[in-house]
Amino acid sequence: MLLPFPYLSTALLLCWLLLNQSLEPAQILLGMLLAVAIPLLTRSLLPLPRARVRRPWLLLRLLAVSMVEIVRSCLSVSRIILFRRSRGIHSQFIRVPLDLRDPYGLALLSCLINCTPGTVWVEILPGTHDLALHIFDLQDEQWWIDTIKSQYERPLIEIFEG
């Protein structure tokens, strides 16, 4: 492998070019220098070995699906805030058994769940592999569990563990 961290380096180079809003050769050169140097300098901060993404296209598809889901949840949370009486909102913690074990997969799952309005990830309950999740307006606990397992967890298992 030519670069020790190809994904991170690409992302850093893109960040640098976006930040400077230019495609001049000098900026590209400087950006490439930073993109190689920063991962090497911060390597000791990484607690885990590098993530291995098996199926990048599936990852992009997952992100697109979650984007749609975020917009939909935004609208439903807005509707609840505007039109529902506070007493009628049924907020509750639920428990979702997870099969995903990869730390990077779990990190991505928590970010996706927390980005979606109406759900907040609390923690993986100590000693188990169960996720404690807080739902803004809980109607059907099994529906949430099924949705999270089929829409988010299965693609993540294929991406990071498959």
Partner 1 sequence: MNGLETLPAWAAVIVICLLVLGGAIVLIGALGLMRLPTFYQRIHGPAITVTLGAGAILIASMVYFTAAQSRLVVHELLITLFIMMTAPVVSMLIMRVAVYRDLRGRKGGFAGEGDVYRQPTTAQDRPDTK
Q: Interface with partner 1 by CB under 8 A: which residues?
A: 15, 18-19, 21, 70-71, 74-75, 77-78, 81-82, 86, 89, 91-95, 110-118, 120-123, 125-128, 130, 132, 134, 136
115 token code pair:
């980005």
Could you tell me the smallest distance in angstroms from the CB atom of residue 113 to partner 1?
8
For partner 1, which is the closer residue by CB, 41 or 89? 89
For partner 1, which is the closer residue by CB, 86 or 139? 86
Could you tell me the smallest distance in angstroms from the CB atom of residue 31 to partner 1?
13
Q: Which of 35, 41, 47 is nearest to 2 (CA)?
A: 35
Could you tell me the smallest distance in angstroms from the CB atom of residue 100 to partner 1?
16
Could you tell me the smallest distance in angstroms from the CB atom of residue 1 to partner 1?
25
For partner 1, which is the closer residue by CB, 115 or 162? 115
For residues 61, 138, 121, 97, the Cα torsion angle rounded to the nearest 10 degrees is -80
Could you tell me the smallest distance in angstroms from the CB atom of residue 156 to partner 1?
15
For partner 1, which is the closer residue by CB, 58 or 120? 120
**C-alpha span between 17 and 134 (Å, rounded):** 39
Secondary structure (3-state) at 134: strand
For partner 1, which is the closer residue by CB, 32 or 117? 117
Q: Which of 120, 74, 76 is nearest to 94 (CA)?
A: 120
